[in-house]
Amino acid sequence: MMLRKYEPGDAEKMAALFYDTVHSVNIRDYTKDQVDAWAAGNVDLEAWNKSFLEHNTLVAVEDGRIIGFGDMDLSGYFDRLYIHKDYQGRGIATAICDALEEKVCPKTITVAASITARPFFENRGYHVVRKQQVERRGVLLTNFVMEKHFS
C-alpha cells in the first residue's frame, strides 16, 4: 500500500468507495434509511474535487486500486476518512491519519466522527466534545464532535 496526494481523476472512484463503505461498514451502527441518506450515491463530483484540491487529501493505493482516502482542511478539520470494506483493520486509516496529523498547523484537530469511527479516533487520543444529530436528506444521524490537541 502506498499513500499519495489526491489527483482530480480520483474523485469518481473515491465517491464509489465512500458509498460502498457507508453501506457495508457503517450499516452496523446506522439503519438502512440513515446510510441511504448519508451516502445516496449521487455525490457532486465537481464539489468533491474542489474540496479535495483545497484540502490536504491523501489516497491509499494498492495494486493500482484506491483502497482508502482522507482529507483535512487548513483549519485542522478532519473532513473525510473512508477505507474500502475489504481493507478494514489493516492500518490504512492509521497511516492516513498519521500523515495528515503530521502536516497539520493548528494545535487542535477536530472531526465529526460517526458511531463507527468513534473508537478509532478515541484510540488515537481524540476526545468527545459533544454528541450531535445531523440531518441528511431529512434523516437524523448521530455523530460525535471530537478533538485532539497537540503541543
Does 129 map to a domain?
Answer: no
- Domain assignment present for 145: no
What percentage of the chain has pLDDT greater than the value 90?
A: 93
Mean pLDDT on 123-149 = 96
Task: Please give the average per-residue pLDDT across 67-80, as a whole number.
Answer: 95
Within a domain: 25:
yes
Is the model's pLDDT at 102 over the cut of 90?
no
Assigned domain for 22 exists: yes
Identify the domain containing residue 53 by its residue range. 2-106
Count of domains for the chain: 1
Residue 103 has pLDDT above 90, yes or no: no
- Overall average pLDDT of the 112-122 stretch: 98
Please report the DSSP string for 66-83 in residue order. Answer: EEEEEEE-TTSEEEEEEE
Mean predicted confidence (pLDDT) in 51-71: 97
Q: Does any domain span residue 112?
A: no
Q: How confident is the model at residue 105 (pLDDT cuts 50, 70, 90)?
A: confident
Q: What is the pTM of this model?
A: 0.94
Mean pLDDT score across all residues of the chain: 95
Query: Per the domain annotation, does 65 fall within a domain?
Result: yes
Q: Is residue 49 part of a domain?
A: yes
Q: List the CATH number of the domain containing 23.
A: 3.40.630.30
At 150 the pLDDT is 83
Q: Does any domain span residue 55? A: yes
* pLDDT class of 47 with cuts at 50, 70, 90: very high
